[in-house]
Amino acid sequence: MSGGRRKNDTFKQIHEKGDIKMELLEAIKSRRSVRAYKPDPVSEEVLTELLEVARWAPSATNTQPWEFFVLTGNALEDLNHATTANIREGMKPNPDIAALETPPKGPYATRQQKFFKQILDLVKPEEGTNKMQNWFEMSASNYNAPALIIIVADKSAPGWFIFDIGIVTQTIALAAQEYGLGTCILGDTAAYPDCVRRVTGIPESKRIIIGIAVGYPDWDDPLNSLQTGREPVEKLVTWCRTAETR
C-alpha cells in the first residue's frame, strides 16, 4: 500500500471518530507561547516524531519549501551566548528577511504595546539591566529551552514560501502539545543570521526564517501565566452576501 493511500485511510478514520474535532479545536485554542522551561532534555526521538508529523503541513502546489535545523546541547548554548552578546552590545539585527524588522503601525502597534506591558509586568530585571533589556536577552537565548528548531528556506524557493513556512510553524506548535511539549515561536532567532550560520553551518544559499523553542513547560514560572486575548470575530469578518456591482 502506498504512503498516500495510508494517509488517506488515516484521514478517513480520524474524521469518523466523534471526539477528534473537540481535541483539535481544544489544541488550537489552548496553545500558548511558553517562555519558561524545565531543564529536562527533549529526546531526538521525540523531536524526530514531531517533525515527522509537521512535514505533512500543506504548502502551495506541494512545494514544501522548508528545512529544519535542530539545535540542542552545546550547539544551542553557543548560539544563545552569541545572540545574547549581540543584544548587550546593541548590535542592530540583520535578518535574511528584511520585513521581519518592519515595525507595526496602527492597531497592530496598539496590540503589540499591550503585549509588551503584559510581558514586562512578569519579567524580573537582573542587576544592571532594565525589564525590557532583560526580556530581550531572554528571548535572544530562546528562553533557555532545551531544544530549538530553526526553519530555513532555499533562496530559490517560490515567492509564496513565507506563507508556507507559517503553516508548518503552526503545525509544529500544535503537534508539540501531543508530546507534552511547549513552544515559543521566535523571530529573534533570525535576527542575527551570521551567529546562526557560524554555529549550524547553514549555507548562505538558504534564508533563516524563524526559530521555535521546544521543551517541557515550567508552569510554576510567572512568565507562563501570561494569557493574551484575541479580537472578537465580529471585528475581523466581513460577510459578502450580495455582489457590490449589482
What is the per-residue DSSP string for 106-120? HHHHHHHHHHHHHHH
Name the band, by pLDDT with cuts 50, 70 and 90, for residue 3. very low
Residue 60 vs residue 245, higher pLDDT = 60
- DSSP 8-state class, residue 156: T
The structure's pTM equals 0.89
Residues found in the chain: 246
The DSSP call for residue 57 is: -
The letter for the amino acid at 182 is G
Three-state DSSP class for residue 168: helix
Mean pLDDT of 162-176: 97
Q: What is the pLDDT of residue 207?
A: 97
* d(C-alpha 111, C-alpha 189), whole Å: 22
Average confidence (pLDDT) over 138-153:
97
Q: Grade residue 72 by pLDDT with cuts at 50, 70 and 90.
A: very high
Give 213-233 pLDDT, tens digit per residue: 999 999 999 999 999 999 999
SS3 state of residue 227: coil
pLDDT of 20 > 60? The answer is no
Assess whether pLDDT exceeds 60 at residue 176: yes
Find the mean pLDDT for residues 73-87.
Answer: 97
**Band of the pLDDT at 51, cuts 50, 70, 90?**
very high
Are 63 and 164 in contact by the 8 Å Cβ rule? The answer is yes
Question: What domains sit in the chain, N to C, each tagged with a CATH number?
Answer: 32-223 (3.40.109.10)
Query: Is residue 7 over pLDDT 50?
Result: no
pLDDT class of 158 with cuts at 50, 70, 90: confident
Which helix (H) or strand (E) element contains residue 80?
helix 73-88
Specify the pairing of strand 147-154 against strand 182-186.
unpaired
Amino acid at 236: L
Across the strands, what pairs with 204?
none
Q: Give φ, ψ of 4 to 5 degrees.
A: -65, -40
Contact by Cβ (8 Å): 65, 161: yes
- Determine what percent of the chain is predicted with pLDDT higher than 70: 89
The tens digit of pLDDT for each residue in 187-198 reads: 999 999 999 999
Closest Cα partner for 151 from 21, 29, 23, 59?
59
pLDDT reported for residue 1: 40
Q: What confidence tens digit (pLDDT) does each residue in 88-139 have?
A: 999 999 999 987 678 899 999 999 999 999 999 999 877 667 888 899 999 9
- Looking at residue 126, its pLDDT comes to 73
Q: Regarding beta strands 182-186 and 206-215, do their DSSP bridges make them parallel or antiparallel, or are they unpaired?
A: antiparallel
Task: Judge whether residue 2 has pLDDT over 50.
Answer: no
Listed in sequence order, the residues at least 6 apart from 50 whose beta carbon sits closer than 8 Å to its beta carbon are 172, 175, 176, 179, 181, 214
**Distance (Å) of CA 33 to CA 17, 108, 134, 187, 213:** 29, 18, 18, 13, 9
